[in-house]
A and B are shown apart, each in its own frame.
Chain A
Amino acid sequence: MRVPPNVTTKVFNEALRSFEAAVGKSWVFTSEEDTALYKDAYSPFFGEPEERWVSAAVAPATVDEVRQVMRIANQHRIPIYPISTGRNLGYGGSAPVYSGSVVLDLKRMNRILEVNETNATCLVEPGVSYFDLYRYIREHKLKVWIDCPDPGWGSLIGNALDRGNGYTMAPYRDHFGSHCGMEVVLADGDLVRTGMGALPGAKTWQQFKYGFGPYLDGLFSQSNLGVVTKMGFWLMPQPDAFRSGTVCVYKYADLFKLVDILAYLEAAKIMTAMTRVESPLLYGAFKAPPPAPELIELRAKPGGPTVAELEAYAQQTDTPYWSVILRFYGSAKLTAAQWEYAQEKFSAIPGAKFRDGDFYEFPLSDAAAEAIMDKAPLGIPSLEAFSMGGRSPVNPSPSQGHIWFSPIIPMSAEAIHECDRVFRAAFKEWGVNPLGLPLPQLYHERTFFQIYGFPITRDPEINRKNRETFQRMIKLAADHGWGEYRTAPAFMDSIMDVYSFNDHALRRTCERVKDALDPNGILSAGRYGIWPKHLRKNTQ
C-alpha cells in the first residue's frame, strides 16, 4: 500500500479505518488493482515517474458521508481529490494533480433529484452522467433537452465545474453558465448552499442564480475550494424544430466578412448554436467525404498553392474556401425565418452560396434519434467520437488518447490569421506537427477556441517532446494575449503562471481564499495552479 506524501503509515491507516467506518469497508479501495483504475487514461506521463498515482479511493454515497470523509481527512491532513465520474479525458481524467492523494470518488452519488419540466431545470448529484439524465428525460417523456459534450459519458457537474461546453444553443452550451445553484462541502466538512439554496425552503433554487450577497459559485469552478455535492442546471425546453444550413464563400478575403456577420448573428441572438469555421478547400469539412485527387495534388504543391490557384479551384468545383454551419432551434416557422435572415446578412458577401441542411421536428422516436448522424447539436449523447479515432487510411497510427491545447482568441478573421501564422511558424521552427483542428471553434459565446491536439502514446520520448511543445505553446500564446480556458494537470501551473497581471494577483488572491477555506490544504492540492500553503513553491 502506498501512503500519501507527508503522511505517516500509522496516520494513514487510522484515516483509512475512519473512512471505512464512515462509508463502509467495501467502499474504501487501497489495493494496487483498484487504485490503478484511477490513473489518467490519457496520461501524458504514461510509464514515467511523474505519472500521477493514487494512494487510495473512497466512494461515499451521501452528502453526510462526504462531510464525514472531509472531517476525517482534515483531522489527519490527508490530501483528497474529488472526482465525479472521472471521465475528464484529455484534461486529467480521474488522476489527482498531487500524486498520492486519496481520490474521493463521487460516482455513487448518482441521483437525479429533480427534473422540473415547467421550469426547464434539474438538480443532480455529481455521479449523474449526461447519459443518465438523457435516459431519465426520455423515459419520463419530458419536454426538455440536455446539452452534452462529445463524448457524452461524463458528469454534468464535473463537466460544468471544469467549464466544459456543448453543442446546442446558448446559454445551455455553456455548462457552467447554465448552472443554477450548488451545494458544497467545504474542506472542514461544513455544508453550504449557494444562490437561493441558502434560504431554507426556497422555491427558486434552480431558477434564480444569484441569491443574496456575494456570488460564490465561481469559486468552486476550476478550483479546489469545495466538494460540490449538488448542482442545478437550466435545461433547454424541447424546441418544436431544428434546422441547419451552411454558408459557403469562395474567396480567401471573404473570411473577414463571414466572421463579422457570424459574430453579429450570435450577439443578436439570431444564431447562438455551437459552430466552427471550416475550409473545405484547405482542410476538408467535419464528417465530409475525402477530397478529390486534384485537390490533394493542389494542396501538396511544392511551395504551396497560391491564393489565386485555390480560388480558381474553388470556383470551378464549387468547393467553398470557407464555410460555416448555422443551427437554429425553435418552431419550423421561426427557424425558417432565422435562416432566411442569416442568408440575407451573408449575401453581403459576393458569391456567397447557401445549402439547406437538416430539418427535424420533435419529439423524435428512439429509432429516429438513433439514426441521426450528428447527435450532439440535438442534445443526444454519444460515444461515437471514440470510433472516429480508430485506425484508418487518414489515421494510420491512432493514439492512446490526446490532450488539448485550447487558447481563446478573438472572434475575428484577423485573429484567426494571426493565430495560424504565429503557430505555423513556431511549429516549423520547432520541427513539430500537432494534431489539428486548424480553424477555430465557437465553443463559448463571443470568442473562438483555437484547438490543437497532442496524441498520447506509449513512448515516453514522444510524450516528453509533446509536453515540451505544449509548454512552449503556452508561453507563445500568452505573449500574443491568448490564454487557455482549461487544461490537464501537467500544465496547470504553467498556465496559471501566465495569467500574471499585477504580479500574479489572480493566483495570490486564489491562494488567500484557499488559505481561508482550506487552511490544512487537503483539497485537490495544485488544481488549476492553486497550491495550499504547505506545498506552495514545492510543486511536483
Chain B
Amino acid sequence: MLTRRDFCRTTSVVAASSMMLPNFTFGQASILPLYKIIADENFELSTAFAQHAAARGANVHVGSSDITSLWFHDLEPRWRHTPLAIAGLTTPEALFCLEQLARDHGMRVVTRAEHRMRNHEVIEHSIYGPSEVVSCMDYGCKTTTAWPATVADALLTFPSTPRLFTTTTIAQNVAREQRLNDTLVSWLIALPHRA
C-alpha cells in the first residue's frame, strides 16, 4: 500500500520531473537531512507531530514554549560550526525567535505553514513552500485527519534542492482530537538553496 511517506518521496520526483528545468536530472530527489524536529510539550498536536517524526527515525526535541534552553545549549553551539537544518510544529512566537537566531548563521525559514481553525470543524493550513511539500500536505490531508503526522512527513521529505515555491491553503475537516485552540506553525529552517 502506498503510504503517505512513500507518496511524499515519490511526489518530490514527479514534481521535479514536471518542471523541465535546465539542470534537472532524473533520479530520486535527495532529501534535506534534518538535525532535529522541534515540538512544544504544551500542545498535544505538537507532541503527536514529534511522536510521528520520531517513529520515522527523526531526532526530536519536545520542550517548553520558551526556546531559550534549546537554542543556548543545543542549537547555537552547533550552528556556530555548521548550519544544521531543523523543523518543527510550534507556536508562532517560538518560530519568530528561531528564525531571528538562525539568520545569524545564514539560515532562513524555507517553508512555513500556519495551522488554525477556520470554524469549529475545519482546520486551515496556509502553506508556503516547495511544491513537493505542498503536494505532500495536500495528499496527506485528503487521506487522513491526523494532520500533524502529515506535516511531519512533509517536513521529513523536504527536498535538498527545492525549486518551485508556491503558496496554498488547504481546508480540512477534522475530528475533535485534531482541532486546535491556538494557531500553530510548522516550518523548516535551513541554509537557503540558491540556484
Contacts and interface: CB of A to CB of B under 8 A. Distances in A.
B100 A398 contact: no
Contacts, number: 47
A107 interface: yes
Interface stretch (A166-174, A209-217, A380-388): A380-388
B65 A387 contact: yes
B182 interface: yes
A153 B99 CA distance: 13
Interface string B30-74: 000000000000000000000000000000000011111101100
Interface residues of A, number: 20
Nearest to A31: B194
A261 to B, nearest CB: 35
Contacts of B91: 387, 390-391
Contact of A41 (B68, B94, B100): B100
A390 B91 CA distance: 7
A391 B183 contact: yes
A135 interface: yes
B93 interface: yes
A117 B124 CA distance: 55
Most buried by A among B94, B97, B103, B104: B104
Interface string A346-387: 000000000000000000000000100000000001111011
A383 B104 contact: no
A33 B103 CA distance: 12
Nearest to B69: A370
A67 interface: no
A387 B93 contact: yes
B65 A390 contact: yes
B65 A135 contact: no
B65 A383 contact: no
Contacts of B183: 391
Contacts of A107: 104
Contacts of A131: 72, 76
Given A37-B103, A135-B72, A390-B93, A383 B182 contact: no
B71 A383 contact: yes
Interface residues of B, number: 22
A386 B93 contact: yes
Contacts of A41: 96, 100
Interface in A50-86: 85
Interface in B146-195: 182-183, 192
Interface in B75-132: 76, 91-94, 96-97, 100-101, 103-104
A386 B101 CA distance: 13
Contact of A387 (B66, B100, B101, B182): B66
Contacts of A381: 68
Contacts of B71: 383
A87 interface: yes
Contact of B67 (A370, A383, A389): A383
A447 to B, nearest CB: 30
Nearest to A384: B66
A46 to B, nearest CB: 14
A247 B74 CA distance: 40
Interface of B: 64-69, 71-72, 76, 91-94, 96-97, 100-101, 103-104, 182-183, 192
18 contacts: A33-B192, A37-B103, A41-B96, A131-B76, A135-B72, A153-B100, A382-B66, A382-B68, A383-B67, A386-B94, A386-B97, A387-B64, A387-B91, A387-B94, A390-B91, A391-B183, A398-B92, A398-B93
